[in-house]
Amino acid sequence: MKIDEIGYVGIDATNTAEWRTFAADYVGFEVRDLANECLGLRMDDYAWRMLVQPAQRNGVGFVGMKVESPEALETVRGELTAAGIAVHESSAAERAVRGVQHMLWALDPDKNRVEFFAGRSTDESEFKPGRPIGGFRTGALGLGHIVLGTPSLEEMEHFYMKLLGFGLSDYLDTEIKVRFIHTNDRHHSLALVKTPVSFLHHVMIEYKFMDDVGRLYDQALTMPGMIQTSLGRHSNDHMFSFYSRTPGGFLLETGWGGRAIDRATWTPEELWCFSLWGHERRWETPENQAKQREQNVTAARLGLLAPVEINGEGGFVNRTKVV
């Protein structure tokens, strides 16, 4: 089985009006009004990459995973069914909302709805961000990444890695247990964190321009309680980013300069720190904040550095000569 990308995510929300302001005025999504009071948050040439739908709870509603073809979709059906997992047909209405021709869905071990689709239509209209930005890095890399807290780490590993075919990028096996996993050249499209209960920890979206991260940070500094993790750079995917609190309570990581990997030659490594610098987690306990500061000091003492990769996106220039 081969998943090409995480193509979209659905968000259950008790407060769609707050989401509209957050998405357009703060992040820079193009916001579209859809049926049943849903909001489509557009990032590129798809009608939307995130769907905010009214609900009695806040959290993840569904995760959409792209496969190459209807034939690949049948492979998904067959392999999940053989593993004893119930696979469900989608309705015509569901496919219409998502703009897909073919879709199946199943539940992961934590009862998150995982949708598998093929043949998603693009939208020929120009992307119109809610405020001036240089765009988002998506394409074949997909939406970005999603981090799920789970009390069933081993079962979730089996579902996403053994059944769906995600590869291991990095991992943490200390008092914090994390699996960073990939399905394309993005360092990780999904991360699984061992937690007492299941929940959506954060969604990451990547801007094409570093300046858009900085300008958003300037804006966030004027909004008490908005910044939940300060500006920093991750040690594994090299993302330059910070984290904001969404109207749904989970976090949104907004980043730039994420690392691409060669899946054919990639070797997973055990991590000892999350970040090269920064990323102070204001929601953490004082004890864990102190541990993180100690890790950052160690990284500085060792002189750990990470390159910025020239990846051809709008925020990068590939010079042919030294200037």
Contact, 171 vs 178, CB < 8 A?
Answer: yes
Residue 129 burial (CB count, 10 A): 18
3-state secondary structure of 250: coil
pTM assigned to the model: 0.95
Secondary structure element (H or E) that encloses residue 72, with its range? helix 70-82
pLDDT at 320: 56
Fold of 5-121+131-301: 2,3-Dihydroxybiphenyl 1,2-Dioxygenase; domain 1 (3.10.180)
**pLDDT per residue of the chain (323 residues) written in tens, 0 to 9:** 799 999 999 999 999 999 999 999 999 999 999 999 999 999 999 999 999 999 999 999 999 999 999 999 999 999 999 999 999 999 999 999 999 999 999 999 999 999 999 999 999 899 999 999 999 999 999 999 999 999 999 999 999 999 999 999 999 998 899 999 999 999 999 999 999 999 999 999 999 999 999 999 999 999 999 999 999 999 999 999 999 999 999 999 999 999 999 999 999 999 999 999 999 999 899 999 999 999 999 999 999 999 987 666 666 666 555 43
Backbone phi, psi, residue 202, to 5°: -160, 160
Is residue 19 within 8 A of residue 27, CB to CB? The reply is: no
Residue 322 has what pLDDT?
45
CA–CA distance, 18 with 122 (Å, rounded to integer): 27
Which contiguous run of DSSP H or E holds residue 231?
Answer: strand 227-234
Is the separation of the CB atoms in 87 and 73 below 8 Å? no
Cα distance between residue 92 and residue 89, in whole Å:
10
Q: Where are the domains of the chain?
A: 5-121+131-301
